[in-house]
Structure 1
Amino acid sequence: MDRPRFRAAFFHPRFWLLWCGLGLLWLIVQLPYPVLLRIGRALGALMYRVAGDRRRIAWRNLELCFPEKSVAERKRLHKENFASTGIAFFEMAMSWWWSRSRLAKLAHVEGLEHLKQAQREGKGVILMALHFTTLEIGAALLGQQHTIDGMYREHKNPLFDYIQRRGRERHNLDSLAVERDDVRGMLKLLRAGRAIWYAPDQDYGAKQSVFVPLFGIQAATVTATSKFARLGKALVVPFVQERLADGSGYRLVIQAPLEAFPGETEEADCIRINQWVEQSVRDCPEQYLWAHRRFKTRPPGEPKLYDKRG
């Protein structure tokens, strides 16, 4: 995709309300980081009260994935998850507008040598990530350390799309954005030895998926990770991130490349991926994006797991 460019059309009155909102957000994120964490938690508490559908989806997911927890434990996790989501709103703005030096102070990176080694060997890397609420700021912090390309879906609002893409690329100056459906473009980058952020942990329907266990539930799991690794001759390198509880920033962990991947079958690969997904989520459940119908697609004959309201 081409680099984002500012257009005179963004001064049109239909964008004025968005400009005002962005300006207010820019002012807020100039505040100290500990203050932003507190404001984010307050926003999350408000979202918990008003975002009924998302609240119900998240609660249902917690019921499905943590049946061993008591209702009280799930309620605490539920509220903490919304607090994390509120903080993520300001983390997104931090990644767009904070200076490189200010943002870099929050990074605690482990395992960068795995990406450097792949680069020296000229191998492409599928940076296998998850949809944590810290996704935006994690990508920005890692992008300061190593060039990471990303899959991208254009936003319907062109001004927001410009702000978001420009904000994402300012910490990752050499990165390239690949449209989510541009398989050829992604394979071309992998064969050229580049690293691409890719998250296989959501429900994309049955067409390109197989049903394998996730938290003990048959989940439609995309087979694209195996296909991309095989056709792009790329390594699959797991990557996780977490917001540190002491307020000191973010821990980014680049794990060793998966060995013997892809394996003999796509189903076996998906089982292996979901085992990693489940363990990673269990390590930091309050920061995962639970407001997604992960188990919406069901195997033939199985009942739906979500009601119409979530």
Structure 2
Amino acid sequence: MASPQFNRALLAPRHWPTWIGFGFWFLIAQLPYSWQMALARRLAPLLRLNKKRLNMARTNLQLCFPQKNEQEIEQLLADNLQSTTMAIFETGIGFFWAKSRLRKLFSITGLEHIEQAKAEGQGALLLSLHFTTLDIGSAMLGVCVNYDGMYSPHKNKVFDYVQKVRREAYVKEGIAISRDNVRAMVGQLRKGRMIWYAPDRDLGAKVSVFVPFFGVPAATVTATAQFARMGRAKIIPFSQYRRADDSGYDVVIHAPFENYPTGDELADARRINEFVEQEILKAPEQYLWAQPRFKTRPEGEAKIY
């Protein structure tokens, strides 16, 4: 497919710092993987300077793991800061490494679930989660699976352009679909396409229902079930886990959800959250806790952040 269109306005002086930043990011991404992870650990304390995000992550951990004492929460927070810093380097790897080099960095299991859906001529939502490894996980999946992806435009025009170009480069035939382009997404699903989709964000009460997330009422989007129904598609989740020894990643494509959607919005949304909880518990330090997961509250409840 045609790449996003470049325009000369992106070369305006106000964009030069962003281009320089991408150049530096590209150079850092060429370092050996183990060096990048070591550097990320050294830089992790810098994230404590962002007090808003730091307190948000701490609050989320306290809410989701009430059984943990203060020391355990602070250790998990410290581990999560390291994981979040690693994500910056991992995104650079996903953007700028050749597929041949990236392929040596991970193992993948569960491809038979994708092949079965393709054999049946059925599209699928490849259900991803907002782990810190999200971008590199999408790149690794693209080495092995032909898929399209949901895309949220970035406010920085240069970043938006580069992000879209590099994400489409994950998959030779893949396209990045704007998050609000429902018609295109449903159309691709009905054609039997696989579409990357991450539903574990608070997008507001208008598009959500409140169901528990680690026991806390959380605004959970209903679009997952709607897309599956309108696109006559399966839900095939996948996860990626960073290995503790810095040897790479394990990508796991899970079996499709059975009997989904049910037509019950609450039950379908809760099913998604249960899966998210299940995967987080495997590597809680690797989840993106510094997001406002509980920003929207049920009527009458006080704000959390």
| TM range, smaller chain | over 0.9
Separation in 2, partners of 1:278, 1:268: 15
- TM-score normalised per structure 2: 0.96
* 1:163 CA displacement: 1.5
| Structure 2 gaps, min length 5 | none
One-letter identity of the residue aligned with 2:279: S
* 1:129 CA displacement: 1.2
| Structure 1 gaps, min length 5 | none
Asked if 1:71 corresponds to 2:56, the answer is no
* 1:264 CA displacement: 3.8
Residue in 2 that maps onto 1:36: 36
One-letter identity of the residue aligned with 1:152: Y
One-letter identity of the residue aligned with 2:234: L
Separation in 2, partners of 1:200, 1:30: 32
Asked if 1:130 corresponds to 2:140, the answer is no
- TM-score normalised per structure 1: 0.95
Residue in 2 that maps onto 1:162: 161
- Once the two structures are superposed, the pairs formed by residues 231-242 of structure 1 within 5 Å of their partners are 231-242=230-241
- Once the two structures are superposed, the pairs formed by residues 173-184 of structure 1 within 5 Å of their partners are 173-184=172-183
Out of 65-74 and 20-29, give the one that drifted further: 20-29
| Contact in 1 for aligned 2:167/2:176 (Cα 8 Å) | no
One-letter identity of the residue aligned with 1:28: I
Specify the SS of the correspondent of 2:144. Answer: coil
Deviations 1:188-240 (A, max 9, x none): 00000001111111111111111111111111111111111111100001111
One-letter identity of the residue aligned with 2:103: A
Separation in 2, partners of 1:51, 1:259: 42
Separation in 1, partners of 2:19, 2:298: 45
Separation in 2, partners of 1:84, 1:138: 14
Specify the SS of the correspondent of 1:298. Answer: coil
- Once the two structures are superposed, the pairs formed by residues 181-192 of structure 1 within 5 Å of their partners are 181-192=180-191
Separation in 2, partners of 1:246, 1:290: 22
Separation in 2, partners of 1:276, 1:23: 38
264 and 161 in structure 1: CA distance in 2 versus 1, 3 angstrom threshold: closer
* 1:292 CA displacement: 1.0
* 1:27 CA displacement: 1.4
One-letter identity of the residue aligned with 1:8: R
* 1:140 CA displacement: 0.3
Out of 5-14 and 175-184, give the one that drifted further: 5-14
Separation in 2, partners of 1:19, 1:128: 32
* 1:44 CA displacement: 1.9
- Once the two structures are superposed, the pairs formed by residues 1-310 of structure 1 within 5 Å of their partners are 3-48=3-48, 50-306=49-305
Cα RMSD (Å): 1.4
Separation in 2, partners of 1:85, 1:118: 33
Deviations 1:243-278 (A, max 9, x none): 111111111111000001111411111111111111
Separation in 2, partners of 1:170, 1:179: 16
* 1:156 CA displacement: 2.2
Q: Could you tell me the percent identity over the aligned residues?
A: 51
One-letter identity of the residue aligned with 2:287: Y
The count of corresponding residues between Structure 1 and Structure 2 is: 305
Separation in 2, partners of 1:184, 1:208: 17
